[in-house]
Amino acid sequence: MIIIMCLLLGVVIALALPFTFSSIVSKFISVGILAALDSVFGGLAASANNSFKMKIFVTGFFGNALVAVLLTYMGSLLNIDLTIAAIVVFGTRIFQNFAILRRFVLERYMSKKETKNL
Amino acid sequence: MNIKKYFTPAHISIGIVCLLLAFFITMQIKSVNVINKNGNTDKLRAENLAMELKNEQEKNIELNKQLLLAKQEIDSFKEEAAETNGYSQTLTTQLQRAELLAGLTAVEGSGVQVTLNDSNAINNLPENANAYVIHDMDILQVINELRDAGAEAIALNGERIVSTSEIRCAGATVSVNNNRYSIPYVITAIGDPVNMENALLMRNGVVDSLTFYGFDIEVKKVNSIKLNAYTGPLNYKYAVPSKITTNTQTNGGQ
């Protein structure tokens, strides 16, 4: 409930603001978003495993995003496209976390079915 | 419904995280849309500019036609004026002389026609293809030689060379009166045909030195050629006729 409300609120605020990011800033933000998404999927996977810890989730969310942005910035200073590193790492992890989540959901669904059949 | 259940620290922090994530994703999508749109407008701009250029060129042609008409009108006025009285007659002859000198009238007479073309020779000098291409300097040399031999009116590919004309390298072309021309360069000059031909063909002369590189140069005497008038702009911004006074100071340095 509160999660959906917050999501909607974020969208509304963003739409209401009159300015947009410049193309340079946009590059960093995109990597930051990827890192944040990775944290969210990590959090979901952890909660599926019952190993979800709030502090780890929140620090991971902000920390990953910050580090990803800093890394990209450093890459732009050194003329290395470190966005690729961030994309590969976070992309892989998002898929892994999604796989964990998928397995968890499927297993729970199947076990429910089995209990019904018994 | 237990409201307190929804305001545990966990929920609040997840809420903040979701808010931030949603905010940044939406902002990013908005920005990307704007950036993409700008990229497209760049392309559109190029197309628009091409269209504008075409329009301007068409206008240019139209205006040139109008200019020719206006010039014909002026000519007819001049003829009328010349018929009326003696003073205007002398003025007219003066004007004619001045226009002849400035290249503002179409002229015809005997002269030579020089055709310059790039070299057909096999490039023996490595990395020196430039030596086999006609340059602005080669054209300038030929024209200079023609002037020396008494050419009274010169044109390059139909573009009249006047006192303000430039002959300048412009990539693969040569710019004359800010119009661009490419090979073959045809230089037509009115003057003494024998004199001019001899000047060009003399030993170690211009043609001699250019044929060394295998340039295809043809010098032809012609009995009658017509050279168009200079049609470019006549804007003298800086040079103003100075008044003739008795104690003139223009010859300083004496």
pLDDT (average), residues A83-96: 88
A24 CB within 8 Å of a chain B CB: no
**CB within 8 Å of chain A, chain B residues 164-183:** none
pLDDT (average), residues B69-98: 80
For residue B252, what pLDDT is reported? 47
* Residue A67: other Cβ atoms inside 10 A: 14
A8 CB within 8 Å of a chain B CB: yes
Contacts of B228 (CB under 8 A, 6+ apart): B106, B155, B158, B160
pLDDT (average), residues A54-73: 87
For residue B126, what pLDDT is reported? 59
Strand extents, DSSP E, B22-172: 107-117, 153-156, 159-160, 167-170
Domain positions in chain A: 22-117
Q: Is residue B16 within 8 Å of residue A6, measured between CB atoms? A: yes
- Among residues B58, B187, B19, B99, the alpha carbon closest in space to that of A7 is found at B19
Residue B204, sorted as left (phi over 0), alpha (psi -120 to 50) or beta, turns out to be left
CA distance A64 to chain B (A): 13
- Residue B4 pLDDT > 60: no
- Would you state the torsion angle of the CA atoms of residues B170, B173, B174, B175, taken in this order, to the nearest 10 degrees? -60
A29 CB within 8 Å of a chain B CB: yes
Q: Is residue B181 within 8 Å of residue B157, measured between CB atoms? A: yes
A78 CB within 8 Å of a chain B CB: no
* pLDDT band at A64; cut points 50, 70, 90: confident
* pLDDT band at B56; cut points 50, 70, 90: very high
**CA distance linking residue B24 with residue B96, whole number of Å:** 77
Choice among A6-20, A101-115, B6-20, B132-146 with the minimum mean pLDDT: B6-20
DSSP letters for B211-251: HTTT-EEEEEEEEEEEEPPP-S----SS--PPPP-TT--SS
- Buried b / exposed e over B212-241, threshold 16 CB at 10 Å, is eebbbbebeeeeebebebbebeeeeeeeee
Q: Is residue B134 within 8 Å of residue B206, measured between CB atoms? A: no
pLDDT (average), residues A55-79: 87
What percent of chain B clears pLDDT 90, i.e. is strictly above it? 4
**CA distance linking residue B77 with residue B68, whole number of Å:** 14
Q: Is residue B205 within 8 Å of residue B199, measured between CB atoms? A: yes
Q: Is residue B167 within 8 Å of residue B235, measured between CB atoms? A: no
Stated as kind and residue range, the H or E segment containing A89 is helix A83-117
- Mean confidence (pLDDT) of chain A: 84
* pLDDT band at A33; cut points 50, 70, 90: confident
* pLDDT band at B253; cut points 50, 70, 90: very low
Whether ipTM tops 0.95, in short, is no
- Residue B1 pLDDT > 50: no
Q: Is residue B192 within 8 Å of residue B154, measured between CB atoms? A: no
> Chain A to chain B, count of Cβ pairs less than 8 Å apart?
92
- Residue B250 pLDDT > 60: no
At B224-235, the pLDDT tens digits run: 888 888 887 777
* pLDDT band at A92; cut points 50, 70, 90: very high
pLDDT (average), residues A12-21: 82
What percent of chain A clears pLDDT 70, i.e. is strictly above it? 97
Q: Is residue B152 within 8 Å of residue B190, measured between CB atoms? A: yes
- Residue B38 pLDDT > 50: yes
Q: Is residue A83 within 8 Å of residue A28, measured between CB atoms? A: no
**CB within 8 Å of chain A, chain B residues 20-49:** 20-28, 30-32, 34-35
Distances (CA, A) of B38 to A7, B46, B94: 29, 13, 60
CATH code of the domain made up of B107-227: 3.30.70.1880
Contacts of B215 (CB under 8 A, 6+ apart): B116, B117, B118, B119, B132, B134, B138
* pLDDT band at B2; cut points 50, 70, 90: low
pLDDT (average), residues B239-243: 82
For residue A10, what pLDDT is reported? 85
Contacts of B114 (CB under 8 A, 6+ apart): B142, B146, B186, B187, B188, B189, B200, B217, B218, B219, B220
pLDDT (average), residues B183-193: 89
Residue with tokens 């031999």: B149
* pLDDT band at B128; cut points 50, 70, 90: low
Distances (CA, A) of A46 to A30, A34, A56, B18, B242: 24, 18, 10, 17, 93
pLDDT (average), residues B88-110: 83
- Buried b / exposed e over A24-41, threshold 16 CB at 10 Å, is eebbbbbbbbbbbbbbbb
For residue B20, what pLDDT is reported? 86
Residue with tokens 């020196």: B128
- Residue A39 pLDDT > 70: yes
**CA distance linking residue B190 with residue B177, whole number of Å:** 19
Best of B4, B12, B21, B41 to mutate (most A CBs within 10 Å, chain A): B21
Q: Is residue A38 within 8 Å of residue A93, measured between CB atoms? A: yes
